[in-house]
A and B are shown apart, each in its own frame.
Chain A
């Protein structure tokens, strides 16, 4: 079993707000992330796949295919977007880094054929990242 990780970057804006909370609760729980005009981050995405090395190609996964899938399923949908308003998952869920990692996993997992998705890591800043391993 070999693990391969590909990185990508995207920039997006978001804000945290739960309509079930009162305005005071939203401010208390989400702080400055609750500003309805949104704010942005340069996100770094690391996608790790695992699999056996194909004896004919020497690949765990065709990197070009992986890059195309990441571009099509994730970056085209998220890069330079307002996540709350333009990405369907976040019409109802709060676009925290946790939920972003889960959403990216759910976009990628069904599209990968030869290799299995092992981990999605999303850096919101260099000092904060979330790992999702597909665990229920």
Chain B
């Protein structure tokens, strides 16, 4: 039997939305107050959804200890209380929550082998959320 398991994690980080390919004026027009040069922050809520057959011996898709360990070490510790713009993955990519979704998807997809990654969902605030499920969802 195949089941989907979703786990939520939190981290807090700052960012500034700004593209070097646009003029200062264009950046202000596109990103509004998110373009504030000093940056601003969010409490990000990350949902990681994995799937797979339920192991008959353990009753689990994967052991939560393993998933928690991986996500804490590779995602939460990487981004918590950091400025996203200073991360190498956002040196050329604007750290929108769309791009953060894709970055976290790639980290989990490439590093976590104990279940199939279905999607990453991020709530930037209570009023907006973003999902990325790989290229197949496009």
Residues of B within 8 A of A18 (CB): 57-58
A contact residues, total (Cβ < 8 Å): 26
Minimum C-beta distance from B99 to chain A (A): 24
Residue of B nearest to A93 (CB): B59
From A16, A31, A126, A136, contact of B59 by CB (8 A)? A16
A18-B57, A94-B58, A94-B59 are contacts. A130–B7 as well, Cβ < 8 Å? no
A31-B65, A98-B54, A102-B1 are contacts. A129–B6 as well, Cβ < 8 Å? yes
Residues of B within 8 A of A132 (CB): 1, 3-4
Question: Is A54 an interface residue, CB under 8 A from the partner?
Answer: no
Minimum C-beta distance from A87 to chain B (A): 13
A101-B3, A129-B6, A130-B6 are contacts. A29–B59 as well, Cβ < 8 Å? no
Residues of B within 8 A of A98 (CB): 3, 5, 54, 59-61
Complex Cα distance A101/B61, Å?
12
B contact residues, total (Cβ < 8 Å): 19
Per-residue 0/1 for B1-24: is the Cβ within 8 Å of any A Cβ (1 yes, 0 no)?
Answer: 111111111000000000000000
Complex Cα distance A127/B65, Å?
14
Question: Is B64 an interface residue, CB under 8 A from the partner?
Answer: yes
A29 touches B63 (CB 8 A): yes
Question: Is A48 an interface residue, CB under 8 A from the partner?
Answer: no
Question: Is A13 an interface residue, CB under 8 A from the partner?
Answer: no
Residues of A within 8 A of B5 (CB): 97-98, 128-131
Complex Cα distance A128/B49, Å?
10
B8 touches A130 (CB 8 A): no
B59 touches A95 (CB 8 A): yes
Which 5 pairs of residues, A with B, have the shortest CB-CB distance?
A94-B59, A96-B59, A131-B4, A127-B8, A135-B2
A-side residues, CB < 8 A to B, are 16, 18, 20-21, 29-31, 93-99, 101-102, 126-133, 135-136
B-side residues, CB < 8 A to A, are 1-9, 49, 54, 57-61, 63-65
Starting from the known contacts A127-B8, A131-B4, 12 additional A-B residue pairs (CB-CB under 8 Å) come to: A29-B58, A30-B58, A94-B58, A127-B9, A128-B8, A129-B6, A130-B5, A130-B61, A131-B3, A132-B1, A135-B1, A136-B2
